[in-house]
């Protein structure tokens, strides 16, 4: 069986990745012969690729890995087209199977950060014997160290589990969240391609900025601009409720001299248990998107301060409500009760979030808490980004306090935001990568197996969320690029939009 759809994509190999690893195995009852060749179109930028297997032989009957070394010359910057051609023939069978794996290697000129090794083939052969002797000596030491480290690790894990009062492990989902280092062969091989790698190559450095916090006087002035009387708001059923936060479905009534107009709304407010600090936080976060005007952003439209202990924040109504809850309903509801979401639907929703973020960044607004819980959706799958007012209370499992009395979305935050509290357009891109992962898992909890206190160390060590089940390689590629440790290596939302639109159009070609 040949997956022609998968073979149709040209996978990008970034400059810092020096080689490719392929796992193969013959499951046939007969011996399977192969011949393999690697072709490149720009030898001035890339030397002849080197294989660690013969150019012809038998496909192994047990799972093994072969390697293709891609040595850049460093003489010029190019995108080099690579074609790995494999001819497979089963013994005593008349038919041949031809496979062509498409790759595009990025080579940069005189790049001091280039991880691609420039090796002469003859030098490789001459050093083989000494290499194996060294490996043999090192292997014994590694085995001893590994056993010791594993024993220590198991003991520490048992101790941590015994002392832990949390239930994060009990909430582990069947989705699977093996954490892969971004530089391992298995993870690196998922890097995919779109119309051009340049779409994902950052064109400018994202400078960390301060969060858009308003001074008390500015906040009071903005609230006064949209403050309305209590009689203009009618509250209906309660949609969500936390410890102190509440969201109602409501109606906003606009009176004039002769008629009245009614608009369906969301209304955010607090219960009697809310403290003054919680009320102040509700108002500050609720006004974050005040004055915005975009089809994929949900701004606040009115505030009622008649009862300062129970302020009412009014938003336009979206009939399917919170996006995270909607996704979970789609996954767990009885068939027919909710939407059946196709990959193209999810990509379309991601595109809308990207468009909303492009608008916010043009308005110099850093969101700082982008996630599906802070988006809303309607039955036409129109998605709008919202503020994060009440999110800490309504989604307590998504926020954690790391001993500094500040509750924050630890598992959505970029590395620099988590460790240094730096926020920028690039940190929003990281959060979007986690949001995209949420979309593709229909609302699963990210990093469910990792203790919040260990997130910083895990991310610093290079571990990331693994590819969700049924998630196309192209989408996981965008996630992986969004989680680059260095903020300047992440793509911008404008670059992501091009990639998403290309992939969305490609999905439309298949039934």
Question: Any idea which residues carry the catalytic annotation?
Answer: 369
Cα(102)–Cα(96) distance, integer angstroms: 20
Percentages of the chain per state (helix, strand, coil), in multiples of 5: 35, 20, 40
Q: Which of 23, 102, 28 is nearest to 67 (CA)?
A: 23
Q: Which of 277, 428, 310 is nearest to 365 (CA)?
A: 428
| Contact assessment for residue 338 and residue 345, using Cβ atoms and an 8 Å cutoff | no
Strand pairing category for 96-107 and 11-13: parallel
Q: Is 262 exposed, middle or buried (0-12, 13-18, 19+ CB in 10 A)?
A: exposed
| Contact assessment for residue 311 and residue 278, using Cβ atoms and an 8 Å cutoff | no
209 has which bridge partners?
423
206: which DSSP letter? -
Token pair 């992986």 in the structure block, residue: 480
The CA-atom distances, in angstroms, between 57 and each of 36, 48, 471 are: 9, 21, 34
Most distant CA atoms of the chain, gap in Å: 95
The CA-atom distances, in angstroms, between 174 and each of 161, 168, 169, 441, 511 are: 20, 14, 12, 11, 28
Q: Which of 331, 362, 359 is nearest to 346 (CA)?
A: 331
Tokens of 333: 């509801």
């Amino acid at each position: 069986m040949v997956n022609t759809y998968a073979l149709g994509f040209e996978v990008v190999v970034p400059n810092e990745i020096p080689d490719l690893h392929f796992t193969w195995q013959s499951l046939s009852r007969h011996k399977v012969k192969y011949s393999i060749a690697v072709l490149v179109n720009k030898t001035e930028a890339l030397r002849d690729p080197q294989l660690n297997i013969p150019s012809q032989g038998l496909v192994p009957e047990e799972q093994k890995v072969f390697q293709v070394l891609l040595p850049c010359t460093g003489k010029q910057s190019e995108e080099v087209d690579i074609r790995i051609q494999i001819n497979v023939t089963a013994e005593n069978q008349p038919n041949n199977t031809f496979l062509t794996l498409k790759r595009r290697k990025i080579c940069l000129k005189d790049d001091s950060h280039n991880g691609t090794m420039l090796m002469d083939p003859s030098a490789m052969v001459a050093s083989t014997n000494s290499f194996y002797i060294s490996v043999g000596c090192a292997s014994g030491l590694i085995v001893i160290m590994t056993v010791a480290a594993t024993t220590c690790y198991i003991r520490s894990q048992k101790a941590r589990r015994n002392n832990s009062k949390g239930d994060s492990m009990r909430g582990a989902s069947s989705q699977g969240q093996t954490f892969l280092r971004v530089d391992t062969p298995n993870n690196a091989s998922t890097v995919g391609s779109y119309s051009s790698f340049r779409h994902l190559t950052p064109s400018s450095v994202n400078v960390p900025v301060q969060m858009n916090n308003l001074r008390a006087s500015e906040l009071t002035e903005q609230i006064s601009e949209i403050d309305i009387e209590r009689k203009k708001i009618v509250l209906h059923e309660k949609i969500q409720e936390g410890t102190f936060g509440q969201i109602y479905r409501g109606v906003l009534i606009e009176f004039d001299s002769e008629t009245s107009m009614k608009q369906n709304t969301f209304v955010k407010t607090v219960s009697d248990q809310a403290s003054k600090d919680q009320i102040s936080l509700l108002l500050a976060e609720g006004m974050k998107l005040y004055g915005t005007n975009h089809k994929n952003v949900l701004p606040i439209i009115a505030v009622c301060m008649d009862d300062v202990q129970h302020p009412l924040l009014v938003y336009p109504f979206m009939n399917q409500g919170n996006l995270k809850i909607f996704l979970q309903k789609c996954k767990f509801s009885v068939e027919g009760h909710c939407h059946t979401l196709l990959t193209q639907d999810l990509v379309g929703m991601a595109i809308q979030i990207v468009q909303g973020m492009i608008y916010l960044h043009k308005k110099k607004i850093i969101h700082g808490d982008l996630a599906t819980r802070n988006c809303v959706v309607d039955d036409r799958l129109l998605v709008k980004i919202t503020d994060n007012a009440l999110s800490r209370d309504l989604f307590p499992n998504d926020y954690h306090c790391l001993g500094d009395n500040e509750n924050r979305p630890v598992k959505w935050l970029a590395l620099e935001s988590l460790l240094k509290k730096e926020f920028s357009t690039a940190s929003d891109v990281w959060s979007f990568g986690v949001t995209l992962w949420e979309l593709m898992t229909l609302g699963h909890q990210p990093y469910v197996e990792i203790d919040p206190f260990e997130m910083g160390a895990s991310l610093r060590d290079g571990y990331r969320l693994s590819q969700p089940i049924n998630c196309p390689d192209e989408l996981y590629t965008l996630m992986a690029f969004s989680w680059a440790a260095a903020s300047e290596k992440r793509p911008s939302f404008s670059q992501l939009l091009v990639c998403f639109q290309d992939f969305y159009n490609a999905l439309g070609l298949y039934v």
